[in-house]
Every structure is written in C-alpha cells, then in structure tokens.
Amino acid sequence: MNAQDRVTINKLPTGVPGLDEIVGGGLPEFSFNIIAGAPGSGKTTLAHQFVFANATPERPALYFTVLGESAIKMLRYQQQYTFFDPAKLPDSIRFINLSQVVLEKDLGAVLEEITKEVEKANPAVVVVDSFRTMVRKPQSDMDLQSFIQRLALFLASWQATTFLIGEYAEDELRDNPIFTVADGLFWLRQTTERNSIVRKLQIIKLRGQASVPGLHTFRITDAGVQAFSRTFGLVGHLKDPPSHRRLSFGIPELDKMLGGGVREGDSVLVAGSSGTGKSVLATQFIAEGISQGEPGIVAVFEERPQAYAERATSLGLDLDTPQKDGKLAILYLRPLDLSVDETMHSILDAVQKIGAKRLVIDSLAGFEMALSPGFRADFRESLYRMIFALTGIGVTILSTVEVDESFTEFPFSTYSISFLTDDIIRLRYVSIDGQLRKIMVVIKMRGGNHAKDIREYEITSKGVVILGKRLTEYQGLISGVPVHSDRSGSKEDHSQDTGIEYDT
Amino acid sequence: MVTSPKMRDLARYLLSYEGMSAKSSESMESVTLRVYEKLRHSLSAFAGIAAFESLAFRALTQAKSEAPSLWAVQIAADGSLQGLGEFESQIDVDKDLAGEYPAGEGGTILIDRLLGLLLVFLGEALTLSLLRLAWPEAALDDCNSENGRKA
C-alpha cells in the first residue's frame, strides 16, 4: 500500500506542554485511551487540559463523572489552573454525573446513559472519570470485557476521542481487559525519593504512531501538567553543518592555547578547585560571545543572577546591558527537586528565545544538587543527553566543575564525565616560591590542536590574565608541589615556541 | 450567613423569570418549586443527586435561620423539596415584576442560599454557566455587566 493510500490519522493537541512531542505530534483522533495512575498523580488535570484544548461548541466534550470526587469540588480545584476557561462551560464542555446509574443499575444501563448523552451532544471528546469506580461493582448481565468493547466501539463510531481515567496498579497491566482494548495507555507515576516527589509519565502503548519511549518527568504547576520529553523537544532538529569556527574566550593567550579558540558546538569543561577562577573564565567566555554578537545563556545554581552580574561588573564585564537587550539570560535554577529535563526545558526556552550560541553551566555540582535525589543517580546519563541535545543544535557549552585539590592526583572531574566533553581546561593551585599560585593547562581538545603548555595565570580586575611564557623552570607542576628544575639560568629562547601540538 | 446582594438579586431574577410564565393565580410556592426543580435537575445531572442533596440540605438549613416560614420544608433523598409553601402567600406576578411585591421571601432566601453555595464552591463564572444550562434563554450575564441582566 502506498503512503498516499493510507488513511491519515489526525493528531489532536493534548493541551499539555511537552506531551505532544512525547506522543509523536499529538493524540490520534478517535482513539480510545486510558489514563492510569495512583490518586494525586495528575490524571484528571491531564484530561481537563485535553478537553479544554479540543472542545468546541460544535464538537463539545462530555465529561462523565462517576463515584469519587464530586464534580463541584473537582471544578472548584480545576478552575485554579490557567488553562481552565469557564467560558467553555456549558456550551463546549458538559459535565454529567453517572453515579446514580452506577449505584442503582448495571453496566448496561451505564452504557445506555453514555450512549444517550453522546447521541444528543455529538461530542469530539469523551472522558469518564473515574472509570475504575464504575467497574468495581460486581457485574450482572454484561461482563466487563463486553462493556468495554461496546463502549470503545460506540465512541469510536461516533468519532469521539476518549479518555477513561482510573486508579490502576502496575501489576494489573497483564490481565486487565481494558488495557487490551485501549489504543493509548498513559501511565502517571508519583514516587518519593528521600524528601522529594518525582513525577514521571510513560506512554505504555499508543496505536498508530510512534511515541517517545521511556519515562518522562512531568510537573504540575499553576498551568497544569507540563511534561518534559527525554528528547528535550529536539526531535527533528538537525545539527547545522559544522562551521569549524573558533570561539574566543576574550583571553588571547588562552585562545592560542586552544589552537585559536573553542570549536563552535563543542562542550568545554573547566575543572578546578574552589577559587581557581572557573566562574570568572566562564563569565569572560559569555561576555566575549556577546561582544562578538553571539547571545548567551548562563545557568547558575550557586548564586543569584544579580550577584553573578555584579561579580562580572567587578571584572569590568557588563552583563546588565545585554540582559536588558535580550542578548543574555542568566537563569537561576536553584529550586530543589528539578529533573534534568525540566532544567533543559528552561535552558532551551531561553536558547530559543534569544537565539543563544553560548551556554555556561555554572556549576555541575550546583546542577546536581538542584536535582531530586532520584535524578542524581542518573546524573551522568542525564548530562550526556543534555550535552548531546544542546550541542546538536549548535550551542557551545562551557560547564564548570569543582574538583578536590590533590597533591597526588590530577583529577578532571568528580563525575567521570570527561568522555562527555570535547575540551577540558584544568585549573589548579601550585606551591611555588612560598606562594600559592595558579596554573592552567588544556588537557584535551577533541579533534583539534591545542597547546600542551602549563601556564601560570592570575585573576585580576580584568579577569583571568595568563602570565608570561610556559613554566619551564619547574618539574611536577601538575602535582601542585613542583620542584625547581634549576633551569632559571638557561638562556633558551621560548619566544617562538607556540607549544601547539596535535592531540592524539 | 449573609450572602452577596448579587446572589439575592439573581435569586429574585430567577423567581421573577419563572413567575413571568406563571399564571397570575399560581402560588409563589409553585414558582419557587419551579426554580428549585430546574436547579435540581441541572445540578444533579452535573454533580450527582447525592451532591445536590447535600448542597440543598445545607442551603435549607441556612435559609431556615432567616425564614421561619421554611420550618416545615424538608429535602428528600432525591434532592426534591417537600413541604414548601404552607405559610407562603399567593404570588402577584404583576406586582412582583414591578418590584413592589417580591416573590415569597422564604423561597427567595432558599434559592439565594443555594446559589450562594455554588458561588462559594465554584465562583461566579461557573455558577452562571451552570444556570445557563437550566435557563438557556434567560439573560444571566455577569450581574455587574451593564449589558447584562440588570441593564
């Protein structure tokens, strides 16, 4: 069968930010869906969002309530959400209570009542909330399977997209007939991780189109349910062809060490212990980008945006003006219980809003702390997805990471994430001539050339300033306690030595 | 409990609206019952009989404290009103419409209390939406609207 011979299944907006992408572009029209999950997991809110997004006076939504939460209380709470438009009631959305029929009669009567209302209203959307309470009662003439089958057939014939909402346990997935009949199965989970609540959504089944597999985090805010796809909403976004452009730090000596600058689209890790100037370097990177016409984002976790901007001012870098001009966004992502996906959503929003080319994450340790404990366990995997997604759309990322200063080791990161980064710049303290001085070395530049020099630097009122030539007079600099190699009297001229070698 | 003048106005309006289609000899009890029954039908379909019965019982309890004439009124299990009007006088539709002789005070208070509860739980916008189901032809626009019912 040719593609043009196949029936086109319209995709309806779910009304839930982020969910359309997860379900493959929208919910299949006329599908028969189950929203399952424990009480309080957001089932009703999700259904309301779908209803409000799709109901019209011509093709209204019928919302059948059964036992459980009264419609009055339900609407009392639901109207607090920003998606709730009271003007849609009663012409576009009608609530009908079936509790009396359920209590006094059998499922046949329930089906009859639903049929009667559907025939009368010709709805585009039908919701039964909670379907579970309807079928808990011992059945009489019509068994459950037959009821579900007939309900699904009837509603599909009437061209209604249907949601049945129910509290189901995951072990019911195997032998509950409703899951066999359903075209779509949305499972909402809410788990406690130490002191945090983590909400996750899974599309267990969706006929007719490919959904994004796996567990997607979601949050319930004033705006209702908001889902965060594991693909970060970047499905279909193709990476621009590599530009081979080098991005400057605004520190000429460092740019030289980097073989001309950071390659556009790279992920750079700046690692060092406290006070070595990681954030200063990151700020200079962003400020230089802005001066070159490349908007930037700074995601901060350990200080507030104003403090970050003030510190930049003390270095002679103006971050206030580009913020006002829409060329810089400083995101404060401190709230606990974040998922990487939520963080990514905030960052991507900002990236798209200002067309950011550079992103600073300051710092990975703060980022990790802002995550719910459950997400921290997957931090490395999450970072991989995040970096891959962002660099995939051409954003150059600079992340800072604090490493414990050791005089026996030279660690790059506490996260074992160096494989995730294209370039690593290591900052560290060294004890020289009775002073605690700072050195910098480019450890790695994936696919590019860089200097192997160990350079001393200072943090001045102008930011990071690299001093003199490479430190040739000392051995064991990376240990932090170098030994003078007694070459101070050497007349060797290093002025022509660029120190650049190709990475192997 | 004192409800808002808006709800009292709305209650009076609904009673007047129903009174307009009433025969001049029709009792005020009958008009009140007509309004109440429309509310019962609409709200029971929306929220269930039990939910309506609970609301109605609460509204009646509140109304009784203000209108002794309601002392014999009961709410049945299906939410219907029983015993209304035993002490109510006949309605004079013409006078009522002229605002000189409001519909039976007990009935007004009861409807007022019922609408007041809806207002508390659902807010004005949703309450008016629900009333539109029962009175699709009535001008139930925002009570404050100059273009609405009071205009």
The set of residues, in sequence order, having a beta carbon less than 8 Å from that of A8 and lying 6+ positions away, is none
Contact status of A238 with chain B (Cβ, < 8 Å): no
Per-residue pLDDT of chain A in tens (504 residues, 90 and over written 9) = 676 778 889 999 999 999 999 999 999 999 999 999 988 899 999 999 999 999 999 999 999 998 777 889 899 999 999 999 999 998 999 999 998 888 888 888 889 999 999 999 999 999 999 887 776 666 654 567 788 888 999 998 899 999 999 988 877 777 777 888 899 999 999 887 777 778 999 999 999 899 998 889 899 999 999 998 887 766 555 555 557 789 999 999 999 999 999 999 999 999 999 899 999 999 999 999 999 999 999 999 888 889 999 999 998 999 999 999 999 999 987 665 677 778 777 888 888 899 999 999 998 888 888 777 777 777 787 778 888 888 888 899 999 998 877 655 556 666 666 667 889 999 999 888 888 899 999 988 887 788 888 999 999 998 999 998 777 777 777 777 777 776 444 444 444 444 444 443
A90 and B CB contact within 8 Å: yes
**SS3 for A253?**
helix
Which of A52, A67, A70, A72 to probe the B interface (max B CBs under 10 A)?
Answer: A72
Token digits of residue A295: 């908007």
Contact in structure between A64 and A127 (CB atoms under 8 Å): yes
> Which residue in A92, A97, A104 has the most chain B C-beta atoms within 10 A of its own C-beta, making it the best mutation to test that interface?
A97
SS (HEC) of A142-182: CCHHHHHHHHHHHHHHCCCEEEEEECCCHHHCCCCHHHHHC
Q: Could you identify the residue written with the tokens 């129910």?
A: A166
Whole-angstrom distance between the N-terminal and C-terminal Cα of chain B? 28
∠ CA A482-A483-A485, rounded to 5°: 125
- The helix/strand/coil state of A303 is coil
Task: Give the gap in angstroms from C-alpha B90 to the nearest C-alpha of chain A.
Answer: 35
Is B45–A75 a contact, with Cβ atoms under 8 angstroms apart? no
CB nearest to B45's CB, from A86, A87, A97? A97
The residue in chain B having the minimum alpha-carbon distance to the alpha carbon of residue A71 is B47
Residues of chain A found within 8 Å of residue B45, distances taken between Cβ atoms: 96-97
- Whether B47 and A86 lie within 8 Å, measured CB to CB: no
Shortest CA distance from A117: residue in chain B? B45
Residue A298 and residue A280 in contact, taking contact as beta carbons nearer than 8 Å: no
Q: Which of A293, A312, A376, A314 is nearest to A339 (CA)?
A: A376
Which of A106-129 are b and which e, b meaning 16 or more Cβ less than 10 Å from the residue's Cβ?
Answer: bbebbbebbeebbeebebbbbbbb
- Please answer yes or no on whether B46 and A97 come within 8 Å at the CB atom: yes
DSSP string across A194-210: TTEEEEEEEEEEETTS-
Prior bond to A363 cis, omega within 30? yes
Say if residue A90 is preceded by a cis peptide, omega within 30 of 0.
Answer: yes
Neighbouring CB atoms inside 10 A of A377's CB total 12
CB contact under 8 A, B51 and A72: yes
B49/A100 CB distance under 8 A? yes
**Which amino acid makes up residue A57?**
P
- Select the residue of B45, B50, B129 nearest A96 (Cβ to Cβ): B45
Distance from CA of A199 to the nearest CA of B (A): 28
CA distance A219 to chain B (A): 25
Q: Are A295 and A357 in contact (CB under 8 A)?
A: yes
> Which residue in A89, A100, A101 has the most chain B C-beta atoms within 10 A of its own C-beta, making it the best mutation to test that interface?
A89
State phi, psi for A217 to the nearest 5 degrees: -75, 150
Taking a C-beta distance cutoff of 8 angstroms, is the pair A432, A488 a contact?
no
For chains A and B, CB pairs below 8 A equal: 58
User: What's the pLDDT at A367?
Assistant: 84
* Number of Cβ atoms within 10 Å of the Cβ of A175: 8
Q: What is the pLDDT of residues A271-288, one digit of tens each?
A: 999 899 999 999 999 999
3-state secondary structure of A347: helix
Q: Which residue reads 């572009």 in tokens? A: A25
CB atoms inside a 10 Å sphere around CB A481: 12
Q: How far is B45 from A96, CA to CA, in rounded Å?
A: 5
Taking contacts as CB-CB distances below 8 angstroms, the residues of chain B near A99 are 48-50
Q: Answer whether A420's CB lies under 8 Å from A414's CB.
A: no
CA nearest A440: which of A417, A410, A414, A418? A410
Angstrom distance (rounded) from CA A241 to CA A393: 10
| Structure-token pair, residue B143 | 């009570």
| Residue recorded with tokens 């010709």 | A122
The burial class, CB within 10 Å (0-12 / 13-18 / 19+), for A438 is buried
Residues A358-403 have pLDDT tens digits of 999 998 888 888 777 777 777 787 778 888 888 888 899 999 998 8
What are the φ and ψ backbone dihedral angles of A64, each rounded to 5 degrees? -85, 125
% chain A with pLDDT above 90: 48
Nearest CA-CA partner of A40 in A186, A231, A197, A271: A197
Q: How far is A57 from chain B (nearest CA, A)?
A: 14
Chosen from B126, B128, B145 to mutate, greatest number of chain A CBs within 10 A: B126
Closest Cα of chain A to B103: distance in Å? 28
Pick from A70, A101, A129 the residue to mutate for testing the B interface (most B CBs within 10 Å): A70
Rounded to an integer, what distance in angstroms lies between the CA atom of residue A66 and that of residue A78?
Answer: 17
Place of tokens 């406690």: A192
Asked whether the beta carbons of residue A99 and residue B130 sit closer than 8 angstroms, the reply is no
Distance from C-alpha of A429 to C-alpha of A440, rounded to nearest angstrom? 9
Question: Does B46 contact A86 at a Cβ distance shorter than 8 Å?
Answer: no
Quote the crossing angle between the two packed helices B28-47 and A71-78, to the nearest 10°: 70
Q: What is the dihedral of CA B38, B39, B41, B45, to 10 degrees?
A: 140
Q: How far is CA A426 from CA A429, A439, A504, in A?
A: 10, 8, 18
B114: left (phi over 0), alpha (psi -120 to 50) or beta: alpha
* Per-residue pLDDT reduced to its tens digit, A252-274: 999 999 999 999 999 999 999 98
Tell me if residue A38 falls in helix, strand or coil.
Answer: coil
Q: Which two structure tokens, joined as six digits, stand for A241? A: 């062809």
Distance CA A160, CA A43 (A): 19
Determine contact, residues B146/B34, Cβ cutoff 8 Å: no
A65 in contact with chain B, both atoms CB, cutoff 8 A: yes
Listed in order, strand segments (DSSP E) in A352-473 are: 358-362, 396-402, 423-432, 435-445, 449-451, 454-460, 463-467
Contact A55/A91 with Cβ under 8 angstroms?
no
SS3 A368: helix
Side-chain-side CA neighbours of A80 within 13 Å: the count stands at: 10
- Token code pair at residue A386: 């995040």
